[in-house]
Structure 1
Amino acid sequence: MKIVLFTHPSFLTSQSMPRFAAMLSDGMEERGHTVDVLSPKPLFFNIPVPAQFKKWFGYIDQYIIFPGTVKAKLSSYPKETLFVFADQALGPWIPLVADRPHVIHCHDFLAQQSAKGQMPENPVGRTGVQYQKYIRRGYLSGKNFIAVSRKTQADLHDFYGSVPTVSEVVYNGLTGEFSKGGMAKMRERFSRQTGIDCSKGYILHVGGNQWYKNRQGVLEIYSAWRSLRGPDIPLILIGAKPDERLMAALKKTGYMDEIHFLSGIDDDLLKTAYAGASVFLFPSLAEGFGWPIAEAMASGVPVITTNEAPMTEVAGDAAFLIERRPANAALKGQWAKDSALVLDQVLKAEEQARENRIDMGLENVKRFDSKKTLDLIESIYLKVLEKNI
């Protein structure tokens, strides 16, 4: 099978999308298929201009230069070629090949929902609304979709207005070897490499500064928990450097010396961080899938997450659940206190109860096997190509 894989340009800052695209490309090549990867080159984007113009110059590369490049290549691809889009956000390119066999992977519709005013935590300006309409017009020309969760599939159907010709759910597979290790050893190693005393344990969060990751909520829960006079173990947040808003929230906690943001760490240190954590705290407002939930469970760590899909899809019955952080500012304090009680319960659980929950998590993540994920995706690709749809 000849596959042409469209991916986000390398000059964007996403971390999960390149990982997903690499999984598709490498996985299909390992299965004997030929894969060409197409993405815009940073031509206008590399022109030295003030930062506020960078995005717009990147749009020229993506939506003016790149489509012309693709059109020039299309005639060289044989009739039996399958065109794959790594993300529905690449919608503006989909009309280029909508009349040829194609598959569109869907991760989340949070930007689309925000543009329609459905996410009060993430208001969108006029240009953002128009941009999301532009993306939507593109992916609505497609017919064959694979969603990473049933929640994402339901959102797709909502925006599509019906069920597309092909609409499948294939859960993400874990990439990398996450496994349960000796906790004391992992904590000692993590402490040595970071300079943070984690010998008594630590609370871990993994995620970026995106609004839906709710890092501010993580700080609020930790502060509320410390007010319960729990043990003085640190909070570790791994991901992007905190932005100004998050730094302001950090200063309000009163625990600046015990809250640590780590960015730019390698995969080995991330795996060590998971394996040594006392608990993994993941109170996301929304997700497309929620990789860190599965990664933490595979590392033998109890997980606390939000009691809404798709977090509940990924966590199954193995996680401790808390309410979604309310948009109403007057209710956020009580939410933090209620969530802190759950955190306290997990941290004070008897050893056998903790191990039972860890075992449930290890069993749960067997569903997210990368080989199985790629096998299912391959079968859908072949079906679409065979039926020429």
Structure 2
Amino acid sequence: MKIIFFAHPLFLNHQSMPRFAKMLAEGMKERNHEVEIWSPREYFYRFPFTGNMKKWMGYIDQYIIFPMQVRRKKTGLCSSTLFVFTDHALGPWVNLVKDRPHVVHCHDFLAQHSAENNIAENRTSWTGKQYQALIRKGFSKGKNFISVSERTRKDLAKFCKGVPLRSEMVYNGLNRVFSPGDPLEARAIISREANIPLRNGYILHVGGNQWYKNRTGVVEIYSAWRNSQRERLPLVLIGQSPSEDLIKAYEASPFTDDIVFINSASDEVVSNAYAGAKAFLFPSLAEGFGWPIVEAMASGCPVITTNEAPMTEVGGEAAFYIPKKPLIGSKVELWACDAAEVVNKVMNFNQEERQFWIEKGLKNAYRFDQAKSLDNIEMIYSDILQKFWSL
């Protein structure tokens, strides 16, 4: 089978989507398929513009230059080629191959929800709404879809204007190895990174500054937990440099000496951070999947996350759940206090209880095996191609 993967342009410096595209491409190569990755190159984007003008140069490369190249290149491909869109946000390109065998991978529809005014925490500008409408119009022309969670598949049914010929769900598989390590060795490594002693452990959060990651909520829960008891374990946040809102939440905490940010951490540092943490705190407002939940569990770290899909899909019966952070400011303090009680429960486990939940988390993480995920995706790819030519 020959597979053409459509991927986001590298010049946009996305992180997770290029990684996902690479995982698919390498996985299919290992399964003896012929693979190519097609994505826009920078032509106009390389011009020395800034701000909105820079963005519009990127749009020219993506939606004018690249489609012309695709139309030319696809004419020389054999009829048994499968076209794979690695993200439904690449919807404007679906029309280019809508009459050829194709499949669209769907991750999350948060941007679409925001454009529909469904998310009070994240408002979308008029131009942003037009852009999301363009994306929605594009992926709605697709016939075959693979979603990363049942929540995403449900959202696809809402936003896809036509009735898909096929809508499957395949959970993501871990794209690198995570396993329990020696907590003391891991803490020694993270102590050097954080520049504070962490021998006794810490609470960990891993995530970016996207609105739905709720990093300010992490600090609010930690502060409420520290206010409720005497233990002084630090909070370690790994991810992007703190946003303005996160800095404000940090400065408002009485425990700034024990809150540490590690920015742009390597994969090795992240793996050790999971292995050394006493608990992983992940109070996201929304997700498409929720990679860090599985990564933490696979590393032997108990997880506390939000009682909302898809976090509940991924965490299963092995996670501890807290309510979603309320939008109304007057209720946030009560929410943080309630969440702190769950944190306190996990932090006060005896050795036997902790080991029980670690084992439960490891068993749950085994559900998200990358080889198994790729096998399922390959089977769907092959079936789509076969059925296309049998119609």
Provide TM-score, normalisation by structure 1: 0.98
1:305-354 Cα offsets, whole Å, 9 max, x none, are 00110000000000000000011222111111111111111101222111
Q: Which residue of 2 aligns with 1:236?
A: 236
Q: CA deviation at 1:138?
A: 0.1
Distance 1:137 1:193 in 2: 46
Supply the AA of the counterpart residue of 2:235.
L
Distance 2:318 2:370 in 1: 20
Comparing 246-255 with 340-349, greater Cα deviation is found at 246-255
Q: Which residue of 2 aligns with 1:317?
A: 317
Displacement over 4 Å in runs of 4+ = none
Q: Which residue of 1 aligns with 2:189?
A: 189
Aligned residues of 1:206 and 1:237 also touching (Cα < 8 A): yes
Q: Does 1:33 align with 2:33?
A: yes
SS in 2 for 1:46: coil
SS in 1 for 2:10: coil
1:70-114 Cα offsets, whole Å, 9 max, x none, are 111110111110000000000000000000000100000000001
Q: CA deviation at 1:118?
A: 0.7
Supply the AA of the counterpart residue of 1:88.
H
Aligned residues of 1:284 and 1:305 also touching (Cα < 8 A): yes
Supply the AA of the counterpart residue of 1:343.
V
Q: CA deviation at 1:230?
A: 3.6
* Change in CA separation of 1:249 and 1:193 when aligned onto 2, cut-off 3 Å: closer
Supply the AA of the counterpart residue of 1:204.
L
Q: Which residue of 2 aligns with 1:371?
A: 371
Q: Which residue of 1 aligns with 2:45?
A: 45
Distance 2:53 2:248 in 1: 27
SS in 2 for 1:3: strand
Paired residues, what number?
A: 389
Q: CA deviation at 1:49?
A: 1.4
Supply the AA of the counterpart residue of 1:353.
E
Aligned residues of 1:107 and 1:147 also touching (Cα < 8 A): yes
Q: CA deviation at 1:162?
A: 6.2
Supply the AA of the counterpart residue of 2:115.
A
SS in 2 for 1:25: helix
Aligned residues of 2:91 and 2:138 also touching (Cα < 8 A): yes
Q: Which residue of 1 aligns with 2:224?
A: 224
Supply the AA of the counterpart residue of 1:227.
N
Residues 144-183 of structure 1 aligned to structure 2 (within 5 Å)? 144-161=144-161, 163-183=163-183
Residues 133-148 of structure 1 aligned to structure 2 (within 5 Å)? 133-148=133-148
Distance 1:78 1:303 in 2: 48
Comparing 61-70 with 128-137, greater Cα deviation is found at 61-70
Comparing 306-315 with 196-205, greater Cα deviation is found at 196-205
Aligned residues of 2:194 and 2:261 also touching (Cα < 8 A): no
Supply the AA of the counterpart residue of 1:312.
T
Q: CA deviation at 1:193?
A: 4.0
Supply the AA of the counterpart residue of 1:79.
S
Distance 1:220 1:13 in 2: 31
Residues 71-110 of structure 1 aligned to structure 2 (within 5 Å)? 71-110=71-110
Q: CA deviation at 1:163?
A: 4.6
Residues 299-338 of structure 1 aligned to structure 2 (within 5 Å)? 299-338=299-338
Q: Which residue of 2 aligns with 1:55?
A: 55
Tell me the percent identity. 54
Q: CA deviation at 1:248?
A: 1.7
Q: Which residue of 2 aligns with 1:200?
A: 200
Q: Which residue of 1 aligns with 2:383?
A: 383
Supply the AA of the counterpart residue of 1:64.
I
Aligned-pair RMSD on alpha carbons?
1.2
Comparing 329-338 with 246-255, greater Cα deviation is found at 246-255
SS in 1 for 2:56: helix
Q: Which residue of 2 aligns with 1:17?
A: 17
Supply the AA of the counterpart residue of 1:206.
V
Supply the AA of the counterpart residue of 1:48.
P
Q: Which residue of 2 aligns with 1:115?
A: 115
Comparing 286-295 with 177-186, greater Cα deviation is found at 177-186
Gaps (5+ residues) in structure 2?
Answer: none
1:119-151 Cα offsets, whole Å, 9 max, x none, are 110011101111100000000000000000000
Distance 1:373 1:198 in 2: 36
Distance 1:6 1:161 in 2: 22
Q: CA deviation at 1:372?
A: 0.3
Aligned residues of 1:230 and 1:344 also touching (Cα < 8 A): no
Q: CA deviation at 1:53?
A: 2.5
Supply the AA of the counterpart residue of 1:59.
Y
SS in 1 for 2:228: coil
Residues 238-257 of structure 1 aligned to structure 2 (within 5 Å)? 238-257=238-257
1:182-220 Cα offsets, whole Å, 9 max, x none, are 112211222134423111111101110000111111111
Distance 1:194 1:342 in 2: 25
Supply the AA of the counterpart residue of 2:35.
V
Distance 2:192 2:263 in 1: 17
Aligned residues of 2:140 and 2:161 also touching (Cα < 8 A): no
Distance 1:349 1:13 in 2: 41
Supply the AA of the counterpart residue of 2:360.
M
Comparing 43-52 with 198-207, greater Cα deviation is found at 43-52
Supply the AA of the counterpart residue of 1:8.
H
Residues 283-294 of structure 1 aligned to structure 2 (within 5 Å)? 283-294=283-294
Supply the AA of the counterpart residue of 1:247.
I
Supply the AA of the counterpart residue of 2:331.
L
Provide TM-score, normalisation by structure 2: 0.97
